[in-house]
Amino acid sequence: MHDRTDHINRLKTAEGHLRGIQRMLAEDAYCIDVIRQIQAVQAALSKVSASILDEHLNTCLITAVRGDDPAERERVLKEISSVISESGKL
């Protein structure tokens, strides 16, 4: 529960930064400053994503691997593979 609250707070912070970026663009801010703010939001989102993935690996994945259902193990492993593959495309 604590981690979810932390994730939500981090996402709210990123949301505030996104609004700031929108204002910067509306006010014709210097391009490099806008890019730096975008990079900061991307880094914050990546951190939340990595943390959620870590939690998933240490809960859902472990439960599935230790479970008796081979189809569930395969499904969860395919999910992880897909997420990792997609993250490489960003």
Domain that holds residue 30: 2-87
Q: What are the pLDDT digits (tens) for 9-21?
A: 999 999 999 999 9
Indicate whether 1 pLDDT > 70: no
pLDDT at 7: 94
From start to end of the chain, where are the E strands?
A: none
Report the candidate in 58, 89, 49 with the shortest Cα–Cα distance to residue 76. Answer: 58
pLDDT at 87: 81
Q: What is the CATH number of the domain that holds 39?
A: 1.20.58.1000
pLDDT at 90: 55
- State the total domains in the chain: 1
pLDDT at 70: 93
Q: What are the pLDDT digits (tens) for 21-65?
A: 999 999 999 999 999 999 999 999 999 999 999 999 999 999 999
Alpha-carbon gap, residue 68 to 85, rounded angstroms:
27
| One-letter amino acid for residue 13 of the chain | T
Alpha-carbon gap, residue 8 to 11, rounded angstroms:
5
Report the candidate in 18, 62, 64 with the shortest Cα–Cα distance to residue 39. Answer: 18
